[in-house]
């Protein structure tokens, strides 16, 4: 598994759903698992994808945006 995104859990959860809709397996983990879960949507989480699917995920979410820069 390779880290694909780190940010607020609300974004991470949405990203996992979007990746799965495109056939990419994704998992989500809290950056600090020992932190109490207080339903904080800004709590940091990391989304990981399998190494062999990383390039597909990257193209899906970042490739077109590089052209905007």
Mean pLDDT over 31-44 rounds to 86
Question: Is the predicted pLDDT of residue 9 greater than 90, yes or no?
Answer: yes
The domain of 15 spans 2-66
pLDDT value for 65: 57
pLDDT tens digits along 46-62: 999 999 999 999 998 88
pLDDT value for 69: 52
CATH number at residue 32: 3.30.70
Q: Is 69 helix (H, G, I), strand (E, B) or coil?
A: coil
Question: Which of 1, 5, 2 has its CA nearest to residue 47?
Answer: 5
φ, ψ of residue 12 to 5 degrees: the values are -60, -45
pTM of the prediction? 0.83
Structure tokens at 60: 């899906």
Structurally, the chain folds into a number of domains equal to 1
């Amino acid at each position: 598994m390779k880290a694909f995104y780190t940010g607020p859990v609300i974004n991470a959860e949405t990203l996992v759903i979007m990746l799965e809709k495109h056939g990419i397996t994704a998992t989500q983990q809290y950056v600090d698992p020992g932190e109490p879960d207080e339903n904080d949507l800004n709590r940091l989480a990391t989304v990981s994808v399998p190494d062999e699917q990383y390039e597909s995920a990257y193209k899906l979410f970042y490739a077109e945006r590089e052209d905007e820069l």
